[in-house]
Amino acid sequence: MIQTLAFYLFAVLVTASATMVILSRNPVHSVLWLILSFFNAAGLMVLVGAEFIALLLVIVYVGAVAVLFLFVVMMLDIDFSELRAGFMKNFPIGVAIAVVLLTELVLGIGAYRAGALQLGAPTGDAVPIPGRGNIDSLGAVLYTDYLFLFEAAGIILLVAMVGAIVLTHREQKATRGHQNIGKQVRRNPDEATVMKQPEVGAGVEL
Amino acid sequence: MTDFFQNTLGMSYEFAWFTATIAGILLIALPLMLAVAMIIYVDRKVWAAIALRRGPNVVGPFGLLQSFADGLKVFLQETIIPSAANKGLFLIAPIVTFTVALLAWAVIPFGPEAVLADINIGLLYVLAISSLGVYGVVVSGWASNSKYPFFSAMRAAAQMISYEVSIGFILICVILYAGSSNLNTIIVAQIGHGFGLVNAFAFNLLLFPMWVMFLISSLAETARAPFDLTEAESELVAGYQTEYSSMSFALFWLGEYANVLLMAALNAILFFGGWLPPLNIDLIPWFDIPGFIWLFAKIFFFFFVFSWVKATVPRFRYDQLMRLGWKVFLPLSLAFVVLTSGWLMLTRYG
């Protein structure tokens, strides 16, 4: 009962907010609707018992990726009349994408009405183990059977990260903005300040 | 509590569960609001004492009712919405901040049985919820359509993401030692952890540096001094709160202090044994003292540390904040994840 209610609540919110992503005129609103749909998708995952994936979705996508996305979109200076000016130019591409999506939709509905795919009952490693959490199960598979793929994915991400850093890194000359934090911390009042009592009319030599 | 409603009052299971959950939520949220009001008073008294002032001492005995007077004042003020603001988001932002600050308390254990949601992935849940806190600040900064709130929103977004990364690694170290991310299991794993005597993870050579980093990161995560760049009054007026008034302003305050209390509670739970008494010896019968009293004492202690820091440490510059997060804490916490897992492989699982 409560699962059904929660499912329909999350499902309706996911669909509605996903629709609002493309319908809202303000891109910041679009990003916020996108975040809401991520969040509700996480809710759906909790309902199917994948609580670890759900929280990863919230931590990674809602908590980090979407914040950066919002960060960029917020700083855009959008001129709506200019956006509309490009409408005719991009119209053919838009139609092409729409046709692809429509075909997928028709195929999807057709496949759904043809009946469920017969996947068979899970056997071997795929059988869910009762009383074992998501993290345990995932770890047991990732670090044994799929160790090579897992490590390969890690290395690809590492290379991508190094690449991003290399692309944005600029060698900074020590002329501007370079600070030696250690030197700043080591300063103490005895070295940094000088107490003088100059004669009247006489200057101070530092 | 479900048992009580089911067996004593004779309700059906579903209805008993529903009533118990609602009662649990109220039992956490209402005292939390009261605690926030009192802790603002404590905060002001501590700053006053450090600055050799008296602090609030007019409303009620010892000024104890000061926060309630402030709350009433704010409640009676007019809600001003700037004409150029994005109205909907402007009003939603403080509600988001406040709600998110309350959400995380669902998994905080106040005793062996006293948890609203005793879930396996409690610590991950806390991390997920605390990463949502940034939206209230960012959205309010953008929706205000004013330059100081906007600067503040930019700063908040960058700051919270930076420190969340190292907080994540610190939490992994704790999870490795406890062998679970359930907060109650983490607390139980701390019984006699320090030399068989102290109920705390902090008395462990590998976890003590993690605790220091967690304390500093939690200051940054809640944007408290010395990392309160999002509301640096000398540069940004009041940061993201500049355009707010009345109840929406009060919601920001309540949310912020609820978050500070949550971080103090996490310090207590992850590194100082949560609801356990400090020492694992039963000389005086302190295992009989209810757990929540120990937890509250520890939260109170950490809150005192927070306001002590706020009263004494000057504010960081923005580049210093970023440097500390990315160049010091991130590599250090990463190195400690490797060290901790290596040590555990050698001693516990090897």
Count of structural domains within chain B = 1
Q: What's the rounded Cα separation, in Å, for the pair B170 and B213? A: 8
Query: pLDDT for B103-127, tens place per residue?
Result: 888 888 888 877 888 888 888 888 8
Spans of all domains in chain A: 1-77, 131-169
Q: Is the pLDDT of residue B165 over 80?
A: yes
Q: What's the rounded Cα separation, in Å, for the pair B195 and B284? A: 20
Phi first, then psi: what are they for B194, rounded to 5°? -85, 100
Q: Where are the alpha helices (DSSP H) in B8-62?
A: 13-50
With contacts defined as CB-CB under 8 Å, which chain B residues touch A130? none
Instruction: Reduce the DSSP state of residue B151 to 3 states and report it.
Output: helix
Other CB atoms within 10 Å distance of the CB of residue A18: 17
With contacts defined as CB-CB under 8 Å, which chain A residues touch B124? 52, 55-56, 59
Between B316 and A112, residue with greater pLDDT: B316
Residue of chain B whose Cα is closest to the Cα of A66: B135
Q: What's the rounded Cα separation, in Å, for the pair B114 and B28? A: 10
In this structure, is residue B255 part of a structural domain? yes
B164 in A contact zone (CB under 8 Å) = yes
B139 in A contact zone (CB under 8 Å) = yes
Q: Is the pLDDT of residue A125 over 70?
A: no
Nearest Cα to Cα of residue A69 among B349, B52, B156, B157: B157
Q: Is the pLDDT of residue A158 over 90?
A: yes
With contacts defined as CB-CB under 8 Å, which chain A residues touch B128? 55, 58-59, 62-63
Q: What is the pLDDT of residue A130?
A: 65
Residue of chain A whose Cα is closest to the Cα of B88: A29
First to last CA, chain B: 42
Mean of pLDDT values over B188-208:
80
Contact in structure between B211 and B267 (CB atoms under 8 Å)? yes
Percent of chain B having pLDDT more than 90? 11
Q: What's the rounded Cα separation, in Å, for the pair A136 and A153? A: 20
Q: What's the rounded Cα separation, in Å, for the pair B110 and B93? A: 30
Q: Is the pLDDT of residue B284 over 80?
A: no
Q: What's the rounded Cα separation, in Å, for the pair A36 and B48? A: 42
The four Cα atoms B79, B80, B83, B88 give a dihedral, to 10 degrees, of -30
Nearest Cα to Cα of residue B148 among B253, B244, B235, B227: B235
Q: What is the pLDDT of residue B303?
A: 92
Q: What's the rounded Cα separation, in Å, for the pair B277 and B24? A: 24
Tell me the residue range of the domain where B219 lies. 77-349
Place of tokens 């916490």: B333
In this structure, is residue B33 part of a structural domain? no
B157 in A contact zone (CB under 8 Å) = yes
Highest mean pLDDT among A150-159, A180-189, B30-39, B154-163: A150-159
With contacts defined as CB-CB under 8 Å, which chain B residues touch A136? none
Q: Is the pLDDT of residue A175 over 60?
A: no
Q: A58 vs B319: CB contact, 8 Å cut-off?
A: no
Per-residue HEC secondary structure of B290-347 comes to: CHHHHHHHHHHHHHHHHHHHHHHCCCCCHHHHHHHHHHHHHHHHHHHHHHHHHHHHHH
pLDDT band, residue B215 (cuts 50/70/90)? very high
Cα angle B175, B178, B180 (rounded to 5 degrees) comes to: 60
Query: pLDDT for A25-44, tens place per residue?
Result: 788 888 888 988 988 888 88
With contacts defined as CB-CB under 8 Å, which chain A residues touch B135? 35, 67
> Measured between alpha carbons, how far is residue B111 from residues A192, B60, B108, B121, B175 in Å?
52, 33, 9, 18, 19
Q: Is the pLDDT of residue A179 over 80?
A: no
Q: Among 1.10.4080.10, 3.20.20.140, 1.20.120.1200, 3.90.850.10, name the CATH number for the domain at A1-77.
A: 1.20.120.1200
Nearest Cα to Cα of residue B111 among B296, B303, B304: B296
Q: What does the block give as tokens for A2?
A: 């409560």
Instruction: Reduce the DSSP state of residue B198 to 3 states and report it.
Output: strand
pLDDT band, residue B332 (cuts 50/70/90)? very high
Q: What's the rounded Cα separation, in Å, for the pair A18 and A12? A: 10
Give the CA diameter of chain B: 66
Q: What is the pLDDT of residue B145?
A: 82
Contact in structure between B271 and B214 (CB atoms under 8 Å)? yes
Mean of pLDDT values over A89-93:
80
Beta-carbon pairs below 8 A across chains A and B? 69
Rounded to a whole number of angstroms, the distance from the CA of B341 to the nearest CA of chain A is: 15
Q: What does the block give as tokens for A156?
A: 């690809």
Mean of pLDDT values over A45-69:
84
Q: A59 vs B181: CB contact, 8 Å cut-off?
A: no
pLDDT band, residue A160 (cuts 50/70/90)? very high
Place of tokens 């992503």: A21
Q: What's the rounded Cα separation, in Å, for the pair B336 and B332? A: 6
Q: Is the pLDDT of residue B313 over 80?
A: yes
What mean pLDDT is reported for chain B?
85
Q: What's the rounded Cα separation, in Å, for the pair B243 and B86? A: 12
Question: What region does A49 belong to: left with phi over 0, alpha with psi -120 to 50, or beta?
Answer: left
